[in-house]
Amino acid sequence: MGKATQVSSSTWDTEVAKAAGLTLVDFWAVWCGPCQMVAPIVEELATEYDGKLKVMKLNTDENPDIAGKYGIMSIPTLLFFRGGQPVDKVVGAVPKKVLKDTIDKLLSPTA
């Protein structure tokens, strides 16, 4: 499979808050240039880490309540959750290697 799935306020609890394992949520908006730059990288990561990492996308314009709850002030923000709790975050359009390094660190047995 390996495709990033849209998440919204109505599906947040099921998809993220109650999700087992590591979940990456890409907070983005249609008008955000850097978000458009990072989107293909997020899709690649969804494929590469299929079965190890759940990848979700949340449109901050359509779901301002969730963005506000987690203090998202700049987008893109990539927030990592484990057991429904935020465990790490990357802000801005960063190279794929930065995201891979973060994911690998969070997936390592010592994380």
**Is 56 a known active-site residue?**
no
**Given 4, 32, 46, 72, the catalytic residue:** 32
| pLDDT above 90: percentage of residues in the chain | 94
The domain limits of the chain are 5-107
The CATH topology of domain 5-107 is Glutaredoxin (3.40.30)
**Given 25, 35, 53, 78, the catalytic residue:** 35
Contacts of 22 (CB under 8 A, 6+ apart): 52, 53, 54, 80, 81, 82, 87, 103, 106, 107
**Is 109 a known active-site residue?**
no
Q: pTM for the complete prediction?
A: 0.95
What is the tens place of the pLDDT at every residue in 50-95? 999 999 999 999 999 999 999 999 999 999 999 999 999 999 999 9
